[in-house]
Amino acid sequence: MKITNVKSVYYEVVKHKKEINRMINYVKSGEIKGFTPPSALVGEYNYPNVSVGVIFTDDEKAQVYDAPKLWAANNYNVSEVFSLRTRLVNASKNFNVNNVSMEELERIRLAVISANELNVDLKVSNITLPKIDRNDFYQHGIKTKLEKFEIKDNFKIDKKIERIYYDKDMKAQEGILELYNSRIDENKISKILSVGAMGIKRKLVPTKWSITAVDDSVGKEEIDRVKLFKKGENYRIKTGQFLGNRFTFIFFKGPWSFELIETWNKDPDNVFMGSGDYEFYSGRKEYVKNTAGAYYAVRLAVLEKLLEMKEQYSVLVVREILPEYFVPLGVWVVREGARKALEGEFMTADDMQTALSIAKTKILFPANLERRSRLITMFRTQTTLI
């Protein structure tokens, strides 16, 4: 993800300068009392020796600081989410991904699987502010080195999560699916996986990887269910926008397949259309390279919609990243944005060309869409599939 409007980032930093300085002074003492949503961040740099960060704030109502579904439901804008991030601290310490039994790491793990925000005591050092040219700018606030971490509250654990936490004979994928089908937020599931709290051979998983693993695991299960449905009888088009991410969906008559194409739109004269990723009915053997975690997040939202519709379609999605999305906030934006965009009524068409014509009126910069899409090419060259 690229920062599309650096001036806006500077503007937000200046606007929140007082708050940022207050948080710097808050952690300067080194001995801190704080609150965790609960949340932790596992890095990927220098794998298998990775950083594990406790995410905390000085606000006792900490859960709002890590609540993508709440933010989506209440239509938070980028500035509002950014504002929350300026009040976070990421206190991290290095661990080997296989050393999950260490006592200090176990305390972090128990904090993460808790259902409630927790009062915590920390000792930290080496304050570091994120650099403005980094893609993870202020995603998790001020960075510090974790020296000591203690939980001061009685934590509560959802019984479904507790069962999977203590079941050392259940595979991680089985745990992911059980929690998802029990309506546990996938944001929570990815954190449980990330800190090594599920599976047979438990280990730390970098947060970015765990998010994609959850979306992919659930998606594969849902694809098998969607393939049992009858094929849709018409073409459908839907569009919507959230946090500077605009989504246009084209549901083609045909067996399950999926494609995501992304564009970065700085302005009408400065548009970059990146390479997309796709899968046909037989699926993919490798993780995608071009659209990364966004692919699995959007695919999950599409599959959830198809399960609701009880129909099978081939689906092309165009994600347009607008100047409003001036700082990357995480894959959750893509997942929740796609879900919101799929709410409400669809437009319909009787044939593919009409559907494409309608879609082009909804896409801000539709140039080269038909030439770049592998699904459109497939449908035009293999008519027996539709």
Q: Is the pLDDT of residue 42 over 50?
A: yes
Q: Residue 273 has what pLDDT?
A: 75
Average pLDDT over residues 31-49: 95
Average pLDDT over residues 186-212: 96
Q: What is the pLDDT of residues 214-239, one digit of tens each?
A: 999 999 999 999 999 999 999 999 99
Phi, psi angle pair for 130, to nearest 5° = -60, 150
User: Is residue 289 within a helix (H) or strand (E), and if so which, with residue range?
Assistant: none
- Copy the structure tokens of residue 179: 């929690």
Mean pLDDT, the chain, whole residue set: 90
Amino acid, res. 238 = K
Q: Is the pLDDT of residue 385 over 60?
A: no
Confidence of residue 131 (pLDDT cuts 50, 70, 90): low
Average pLDDT over residues 173-188: 96
User: What is the CB neighbour count within 10 angstroms for residue 365?
Assistant: 16
Q: Is the pLDDT of residue 354 over 80?
A: yes
Contact (Cβ atoms closer than 8 angstroms) between residue 98 and residue 203: yes
Q: Is the pLDDT of residue 255 over 60?
A: yes
ω into 37 cis (within 30 of 0): no
Rounded distance between C-alpha atoms, residue 249 and residue 252, angstroms: 10
Average pLDDT over residues 322-338: 90
- Copy the structure tokens of residue 172: 């991680």
Q: Is the pLDDT of residue 4 over 50?
A: no
Q: How many CA atoms lie within 13 A of 232 on its CB side?
A: 29
In the chain, where are the structural domains located? 6-151, 159-226, 235-385
Q: What is the pLDDT of residues 273-291, one digit of tens each?
A: 778 999 999 999 899 999 9
Average pLDDT over residues 197-220: 97
pTM of the model: 0.92
Average pLDDT over residues 324-345: 93
